[in-house]
Amino acid sequence: MSLETLSNLIKPNCTIEKDDIYVAKEIADKTVWDKLAVENPTHAVISAGNEEEAFKKSSEQINDLKHFLKPEDVLLDCGAGYGRVAKYLLPSMNLAGYIGVDSSYEMLGLFKKRYRDNQAEQKTPLLLLNADIHTIPLKDSSIDVAIVCAVFLHNHKSVVENAMLEIKRVVKPGGRVLVYSSFPRSATFMGLQGHTYQMLLNLMGKPFKNGPVRYYRSKEIMRLFEGFTEVELRPVGYSVLPKTLIFIPKPLEIVWRVGLAKPINKVLEKITPARLKPYFAVHYDVIAVK
């Protein structure tokens, strides 16, 4: 599939082309994610962890993703950012097309530059869309597989609901939706902190603020996937103590995270029976079929 063929999947009269990136007409010129991209190209995609941890997490997700992809598939990456998924996927697997959607033009610019400098990635045609994930300017039933990696957790739940409706609309019948690191569990100490912070934002009149992590119950996630023929929730990670305490000064938070929470959680994970570990999962990944 050529880039021209890929561009035919865009809704008519919904975008304008700007330096080989298709920009949705309704999107604002600048977003909070553009500011983060200028400060740190990885910050808006990976909210925590160093590059080595990011590589490890990406590798695990890429290996899983490959099980659900075929060379003839068109893949939609929602919240593609600078192309963290494509960076690891495309050099080792060719696809019919890769469509990256992100609300940050700056991030997509970084994606485009790296793609053009990497011949292995260029074996797969790339289409970049500067648009919100809850208003995707693609035609109905035009995508074989859609992925979301570490994106939903930073958006208000109403945005996530609309985004899921859009993803469901653009994925073909029988197509898959894969969601990684986007649904942190409510039933954790981190979830308790997160809900408390969200309540404070609500009281301050800032309920839709971008950035804070939102936490989910399994029933909430299943409601987001109503109408799909198959939905699998996979518990991922392990934590008893919260990895961070968001209401204490930064120096003390580092002491807590590095000196206490991380080593204690490692010990507890080793001694916890396998059948009980899902009850201490950090988040849910989702594998769904439309």
CA–CA gap between residue 220 and residue 240 (Å, rounded)? 22
Domains of the chain (ranges, CATH numbers): 3-238+282-289 (3.40.50.150)
pLDDT of residue 57: 59
CA–CA gap between residue 143 and residue 158 (Å, rounded)? 23
CA–CA gap between residue 235 and residue 7 (Å, rounded)? 36
User: Is pLDDT above 60 for 52?
Assistant: no
CA–CA gap between residue 152 and residue 261 (Å, rounded)? 25
What pTM did the predictor assign?
Answer: 0.85
The DSSP annotation for 90-124 comes to TTT---SEEEEEES-HHHHHHHHHHHHT-TTGGGS
The DSSP annotation for 36-81 comes to HHHH-TTTTT--SS-HHHHHHHHHHHHHHHHTT--TT-EEEEET-T
What is the pLDDT averaged over residues 215-240?
A: 96
The DSSP annotation for the chain comes to --HHHHHTTBPTTSEEEETTEEEETTS-S--HHHHHHHH-TTTTT--SS-HHHHHHHHHHHHHHHHTT--TT-EEEEET-TTTHHHHHHTTT---SEEEEEES-HHHHHHHHHHHHT-TTGGGS-EEEEES-TTS--B-TT-EEEEEEES-GGGS-HHHHHHHHHHHHHHEEEEEEEEEEEEEEBSSSHHHHHHHHHHHHHHHTT-TT-SSSPP-B-HHHHHHHTTT-SEEEEEEE---SS-S--TTS-HHHHHIIIIIIIHHHHHHHHHHS-GGGGGGG-SEEEEEEE-
136-167 pLDDT, tens digit each: 999 999 999 999 998 998 888 999 999 999 99
Closest CA to 171 of 133, 143, 131: 143
In contact, 111 and 82? CB cutoff 8 Å: yes
User: Is pLDDT above 60 for 29?
Assistant: no
What is the pLDDT averaged over residues 171-182?
A: 96
Question: Taking each helix axis from N to C terminus, what angle separates 105-116 and 32-39, rounded to the nearest 10 degrees?
Answer: 50
| Higher per-residue confidence, 7 vs 208 | 7
In contact, 93 and 69? CB cutoff 8 Å: yes
CA–CA gap between residue 53 and residue 128 (Å, rounded)? 26
What is the pLDDT averaged over residues 82-110?
A: 93
Banded model confidence at residue 36, pLDDT cuts 50, 70, 90: very low
pLDDT of residue 198: 85
CA–CA gap between residue 51 and residue 254 (Å, rounded)? 18
What is the pLDDT averaged over residues 179-185?
A: 94
